[in-house]
Structure 1
């Protein structure tokens, strides 16, 4: 565990160009970054002997990204001090993860979504014995994916589909019966590139 976490810390500390700057790299007509809504997600790394990533399955009735796999997160509110505060607040609201239990180790590359958000991934370590209480209005399920699996480029599959009348490419990471795709997969591709 310490080796992968140390690599993650070093990778986040180094400046570098992201592999993917966002969905606009895959499709035309995406909102420009200067008009995008600031948002943040927490990339929670559970400190197990083999570290895992905590992910959520969003409820099917949500207006935005219903049923998708995602990191806890959302838009940066006016009361949030910064993107870190926003990510920690959203994680507390969505999955009951107390802010004080997260050891923030760095920020990954901002990611511009096709839906008009500029998302900053905040990577944080979470104790293995953490007790979570998902908000059932937003979160249908919680699950963990081995960190080494999620960051292995061999598991990052590029696919193509039509979206809003145009062909679009996106990454997919499949873990057991779960499909991680779109912005969440793109953020993982960027994080992997930092290692």
Structure 2
């Protein structure tokens, strides 16, 4: 798949369901992430970060670059781009935002807006070691394939809720990050 094929399938008119999120009692704190898709000659890959282990919240977990909206951010898209620059050194002008996914409420009280952005590869990342221990890339086609999504069901408020896991090499992408991937995959393979 290349960028043109991605855009043709992502920007469609059919309604796509979203994965269930955490039912917050009040509005969540606004946050945003960037789903960075790197364009290589024959392949598209997605960049993930491994959060620094010393962080108080979600240390060592797999995520997309992003965070909470600051007062200086005029939009949530600005939040995603600012956080991406701060965490992994990608300047906002290098990112071609092509769309977004539905907001997703998390158990930690955030309402996250995921933005999809294309970048020319190869990348020359500069990690903020205070926030990110490492990054890795996963082929987009692997991520979109529902056969690579493992599901663990939990009981929450007398209801069964899926928690998704996407194993990749020594990494395990799960939780909200996997749900973002899952929501993106519905644009290509429907809700299976």
TM-score range, shorter chain: 0.7 to 0.9
TM-score between the two structures when normalised by the length of structure 2:
0.88
Shift in alpha-carbon separation, 1:84–1:105, aligned structure 2, 3 A: same
Distance 2:80 2:153 in 1: 30
Residues 98-157 of structure 1, C-alpha deviation per residue, up to 9 Å, x if partnerless? 111001111112111111111111000011033110100010111000000011111111
Give the count of matched residue pairs: 185
Distance 2:45 2:90 in 1: 15
Q: What RMSD, in angstroms, separates the aligned Cα atoms of the two structures?
A: 2.1
Q: What is the match of residue 52 of structure 1? A: 45
Distance 2:36 2:64 in 1: 8
Out of 109, 124, 144, which is 2:117 matched to?
A: 124
Q: Shift of residue 18 of structure 1? A: 3.1
Out of 159, 174, 178, which is 2:171 matched to?
A: 178
- What residue ranges of structure 2 are gaps of 5+ in the alignment? none
In the alignment, is residue 148 of structure 1 matched against residue 163 of structure 2? no
Q: Shift of residue 63 of structure 1? A: 1.4
Distance 2:13 2:81 in 1: 23
Contact 2:16 2:186 in 1 (8 A): no
Shift in alpha-carbon separation, 1:106–1:160, aligned structure 2, 3 A: same
Equivalent position SS for 2:79? helix
- What residue ranges of structure 1 are gaps of 5+ in the alignment? 25-29
Contact 1:9 1:106 in 2 (8 A): no
Q: What is the match of residue 192 of structure 1? A: 185
Contact 1:13 1:106 in 2 (8 A): no
Equivalent position SS for 1:18? coil
In the alignment, is residue 62 of structure 1 matched against residue 61 of structure 2? no
Equivalent position SS for 2:176? helix
Distance 1:111 1:82 in 2: 16
Q: What is the match of residue 39 of structure 1? A: 31
Distance 1:96 1:149 in 2: 25
* Structure 1 residues 9-158: aligned runs within 5 Å: 10-12=9-11, 14=13, 16-22=15-21, 24=22, 30-32=23-25, 34-48=26-40, 49-158=42-151
Distance 1:146 1:172 in 2: 16
* Structure 1 residues 157-172: aligned runs within 5 Å: 157-160=150-153, 169-172=162-165
